[in-house]
Structure 1
Amino acid sequence: MSDLLPEEDRALYREVLAQGGRVTLGEAMARNPEATRRLVDLGLLVHHDWDRSLTAVNPRAVAARLGADLCDAAVRRLVESRQVPARMADLAQAYDTARLRPDPGRGVERVTDRQQIRHRILQIESEMRHETLAAQPGGARPTDQMRQSRDRTVEFLARGIALRTLYQPGALTHRPTAEYAAVVSAAGERVRVLDEPFRRMLIFDRRIAVVSASADDEHAVFVEDPAVLAALLDVFERDWARAERPDWHALAGTPRETGVPAELGPLLAAGLTHRAIASRLGLSERTVAGHIARLREFYDAETLFQLGWQLRGAREGRAEPPDGTAPGAADG
């Protein structure tokens, strides 16, 4: 109710009550015109045209009415949400019929137009649900693209999508790139640096990869063949394991913080599930997943087991987690 009714409005309502629950409109407007208008709009003060006075009414009645209105609106939104897939069915069918993606039977397709490459990547991103792995050679990132890239990255992370990115050492000495990496790292992306040559590559949900096929990145290969995709995943994971984890916040000149509610760490260390943590903290599971991604980046934890171990160690004075994971531990 505090968002619905600011303290200044509450104070004015109490003043009207102190005067017997009735004041002139002019008197109330003289004290606080904006608060007066809001109280009248909500119905806590009723305006009488015949004598231009205001009467304070029972807040319980107003709350019941507002609550009923909100409930009705929520029901309408729920009904509408269930109708959305049916309303989009014809468009979904048209999308599938257009065969905008390569034929799965072919598995590998070469695209030789930069705009078409970008167009296809945006389509793939719109269907992404779990993770993106990116190898971005060349050091410094294009500054004119950073703002849009940052906003999209934060949006993906907020949806619970895991992001891991490899850069080359040139990124370390380019202040805008370091600042960008610090921002997305704080949001939950994991960014490392590999001092070796590697090819530009994106892997979405471990189901499709986009690999640069020319030195100028004008050509790309879209890969869905399972055997080729598995080999590309092995290459990325091998490079990721050898890469260094810089302190992007130090390079950017900003303090390094987790940005995660303090209550979340102990709950995660205690072994609670995402759903249980979300229930305890009054958050959505997606928000909890985003916070956990930020903790994994902060502690450089490959798995949830390692993260839980490090969180318990931080509380008990241990320094390092064990290598590897416990048998059967889930990789988050």
Structure 2
Amino acid sequence: MPDVPPGTALPPRPAAPPDPGPAYAVPPGPAEKELYLSVLRAGRVSLRELMEQDAAATVRLLELGLLSRYVHQEWVVAVNPRVATAKLSAALRAGAGDLLARAESAGAELDELADSYDAAQQHTRIAHVFGQVRIQQRLLAIVADHWDEALAAQPGPRAPEFVADDPQVRAALARGAVTDVLYQPVARQAPHTVAYAAAATDWGMRLRVLDEPFARMLIFDRRVAVISTTVDNRSGAAFIEDRAVVDHLVRLFLRDWERAVRVPWYDEVGRELPEPLRRVGELLAEGLTQRAVASRLGLSERTVAGHIARLRERYDADTLFQLGWLMRDGGRHD
């Protein structure tokens, strides 16, 4: 995933989000819009500076999703207002009947900010960015937006700060996003990377190892690709949105992915299969279908499908029948 180190908790705020009601559903006012535009113009702003300038407007914009906070460096960036529109619309629809009409026009409430965002995002289809802070800032803006697939080729050893729990990635995986990560064999020699891979497998990430040279890259939704442009792979990056180039990079990644080795990360750290995966495997070994397994365990088919995907990755199984066969006697046939 992106080389954006995880950070600390948000500043003090209510333990639970506010109920989606009329007060919460009110669109941003003039002061909040002006604060948003100031962050958009600056690119990134210190959270402390914003709180000192207008704490109420800052908290409001964070709650609406119009600002996203980079927790490690204590600064925030502006988020595409169209992402916040869905949240605002949902809040409006949850209100009384007289709010329903407003929900239909929620997008219009943010049109002004959306136009400003679009104007600020005008750039060439291949943008060269230099400096780790600027690269991280741009990556954060991508990760903070809604994405459904991330492909990551990460050659070489991984520093501990870049293989740690990332709440944004975990949240994306929890809602069904796909994340495939490609490592080189050196990753299996680092205990912190192996521990991360085992934990990330629990979240739903797939991590494989390829014993060949390959370039560092990140691809989001097959729409934008990020590649290194400097020898150190850190201080320079190109953000590519040219469809032909991105499609080519996707093909390169998928070619490498198919040749990569599936790794039993649980075994690497001396862990048994998590209990939910073990129970799913046992029922598959009995010949039950995915739907029957979900019914027997009282889980959704989507949850069972995720468990099966992890098991197939673990046991290198291409079909449910093959996986069920391999899961006999608790999976001790691999």
TM-score (norm 1): 0.58
Count of residues in correspondence between the two structures: 235
Q: Which has the larger radius of gyration?
A: 1
Aligned to 2:205: 189
Contact 1:249 1:255 in 2 (8 A): yes
For residue 130 of structure 1, what is the aligned residue in structure 2? 148
Where does structure 1 lack aligned partners over 5 or more consecutive residues? Answer: 1-75, 321-332
% same residue: 39
Q: 1:124 to 1:210 in 2, by over 3 A?
A: same
Residues 93, 103 of structure 2: 8 Å contact kept: no
Alignment of 1:1-332 (within 5 A): 79-80=94-95, 87=106, 89-91=108-110, 93-99=112-118, 100-101=120-121, 103=123, 106-139=124-157, 141-149=158-166, 151-216=167-232, 217-257=234-274, 259-260=276-277, 262=279, 266=284, 283=299, 287-301=303-317, 306-314=318-326
Distance 1:271 1:89 in 2: 47
**Cα-to-partner distance string for 1:157-209 (whole Å, 9 max, x where unaligned):** 21111111011222111111111111111222111112222221111111111
Is the 1:130–1:205 contact (alpha carbons within 8 Å) kept by the matching residues of 2? yes
RMSD (CA atoms): 3.8
SS in 1 for 2:276: coil
Q: Which amino acid aligns with 2:211?
A: D
* Distance in 1 of aligned mates of 2:190 and 2:130: 30
CA distance in 2, matches of 1:297, 1:84: 43
After superposition, the C-alpha distances for 1:54-74 in whole angstroms (9 at most, x for unaligned) are xxxxxxxxxxxxxxxxxxxxx
Q: Secondary structure at the match of 1:214?
A: coil
Contact 1:211 / 1:221 at 8 angstroms: preserved in 2?
A: yes
* Mapped partners of 2:103, 2:250: distance in 1: 35
Q: Which runs of 5+ in 2 are unaligned?
A: 1-90
TM-score, with normalisation over the residues of structure 2?
A: 0.58
Counterpart secondary structure, 2:213: coil
* 1:297 partner letter: E
Q: 2:188·2:194 contact (CA, 8 Å) conserved in 1?
A: yes
1:212–1:289 CA distance, 2 compared to 1 (3 A): farther
- For the 8 Å contact 1:159–1:290, the answer to whether it is kept is no
